[in-house]
Structure 1
Amino acid sequence: MSEISNLSTGYGPDVLSWLSVAHALDLAGIQRPDGFTHAVIFRRCVDCLGLNIVRDGWFVCALCDGDLPADWNLEVQE
């Protein structure tokens, strides 16, 4: 079986994006796993605006040591 992840450069999709991915793969008739085989948790630091990958449940900015929010916060800003 193939593997699929939400790892991206710049966008940082939430793990909940799996629902859209699964729907698109089903419509295309492509066999898929039951979820991301490697789900990545992204957060933007509210202090320095740095994009972070949360590892091992450590919600601390790698750039400034600021606290990262518990909820996904990479909505498109206009």
Structure 2
Amino acid sequence: MASRWAPAEQFFGLHVDLGDYHTKREIWLRLPVATFTCRHGCEHIAVSTADVADFTQSPTETHARTCPGATTHAQESHG
């Protein structure tokens, strides 16, 4: 994986690296990676096209179920 984009290191949220696909050779030179960080310090990472596509559908809903820093009210509002 390439080094992370500087703002992704400093701020919480969703960062998606789309990877690098070689169209002539039809192979991934670098797999896609999605990284979600929250204000409480949690980090969730998905690697590969299928996992990144699935994860980016609803990262906050997935995260709200497991975040130790979120309150019950915040978890309910996420879905």
Q: TM-score, normalised by structure 1?
A: 0.32
Higher share of residues assigned helix: 2
Higher share of residues assigned strand: 2
Bigger relative contact order (CA 8 A; separation at least 6): 1
